[in-house]
Structure 1
Amino acid sequence: MNRRPLVIAAAVAAVVATAAFALPNLPPNPLTDPITDQVFQEKSKRYPTAADAPRRGPEAFTLPSWVPGDARDIRIHARTTGGEARLIRFTLGSTPLDGPQCRTGAPKRPRGRELDAKWWPRGIRPQERPECRDAHQYQVAVRGRHVYAWTDGTPSPGAAPGRSIPTAAR
């Protein structure tokens, strides 16, 4: 009996299993990013300051309007399949976060956080409060100077899909 095909199949299975566990935990780099983008259909970007991050353009990597202009060390993790799920983390500068709020109506119950990232803290759910001033409602938590926010794409009350709430309503 020829065992060679079984050995090859076992080796391939081991490589695939190792990649499935290792890729999401590796730091971003040019070698693993394309693989992670294709396999997990997620992408991460990091900006040193809010001035470096886009405020307009493709929504996945633009900053929401409520992020202070002097925020720094901004990380965004988003779906690449066109979904609206995203995670955002940033460090506050001297401008305080004006408080998560929904000024145009009652917040909706989000479906749930669909993404995860190595930098996302555990046990933050009880600290989360809704923020509804952009097209999508975010759940926001502040720990010290770090702000963590996520959205599953739940529309903000009073916002048309794909648009920020008008300035007069803010």
Structure 2
Amino acid sequence: MNRRPLVVAVATVGVLATAGFALPNLPPNPVTDRIDQQVFKEKGRRFATAADAPPRAQSGFALPSWIPRDATDVRIRMRTNGEARMIRFTLGATPLDGPQCSAGTPKQLGAPDLHARWWPGSLRAGVRSECRDAHLYQVAVRGKRVYAWTDGTPSPGVGK
């Protein structure tokens, strides 16, 4: 009886299962970045400060103008085939109170279907405002940590 095909099949399943659990937990590298882009249609970046992020004209990773320039530990995750984004940052000395952010009752935006280990499970109860740039963002603040997301809904008045 030839058991070789069975051994190969079991080994292949084992390797795929291990990769399925390990890949999402690996630090960013060319392999995981490629899988994120090709399979999950997502990509992400991290900046030490908001000032380190590229200007709007140069990259899809440009930050909305309402994020203070002295914000630190900025992380962004975005959809490669749409406008959905998640952004997390830590506030510096500049507060998150600008003319582009309102403290009124925010509209209900759908949470983007993106995946990041640094994103908490539920933020809906913590939404305190919405901020506007090219897109409308929902914003939740937990201490000095700010979480913002958009499903790609354009801000009112954009394009008029």
Q: What TM-score do the two structures reach when normalised by structure 1?
A: 0.80
Give the Cα separation in 1 of the matches to 2:22 and 2:91.
31
Partner of 1:168: none
The alignment's C-alpha RMSD in Å is 2.5
Give the Cα separation in 1 of the matches to 2:19 and 2:36.
10
Partner of 1:46: 46
For 1:114, give the aligned amino acid. D
State whether residues 107 and 132 of structure 1, in contact with CA within 8 Å, keep that contact through their aligned partners in structure 2.
no
Deviation at 1:62, TM superposition (A): 0.9
Deviation at 1:17, TM superposition (A): 2.3
State whether residues 130 and 137 of structure 1, in contact with CA within 8 Å, keep that contact through their aligned partners in structure 2.
no
Give SS of 2:102's match. Answer: coil
Partner of 1:153: 152
State whether residues 73 and 91 of structure 1, in contact with CA within 8 Å, keep that contact through their aligned partners in structure 2.
yes
CA 1:23/1:30 → structure 2, altered by over 3 Å: closer, same or farther? same
State whether residues 50 and 70 of structure 1, in contact with CA within 8 Å, keep that contact through their aligned partners in structure 2.
yes
Give the Cα separation in 2 of the matches to 1:10 and 1:57.
50
Q: Could you list the runs of 5+ residues in structure 2 that have no partner in the other structure?
A: none
Q: What TM-score do the two structures reach when normalised by structure 2?
A: 0.84
Give the Cα separation in 2 of the matches to 1:53 and 1:110.
25
Partner of 1:76: 76
Partner of 2:135: 136
Partner of 1:116: 115
Deviation at 1:19, TM superposition (A): 1.7
1:103-143 residue CA offsets vs partner (Å, 9 max, x unmatched): 9xx96532333112111123322012452421211111111
Give the Cα separation in 2 of the matches to 1:33 and 1:145.
29
Give the number of the structure whose residues are more often strand, by fraction. 2
Corresponding pairs, count: 158
CA 1:123/1:102 → structure 2, altered by over 3 Å: closer, same or farther? closer
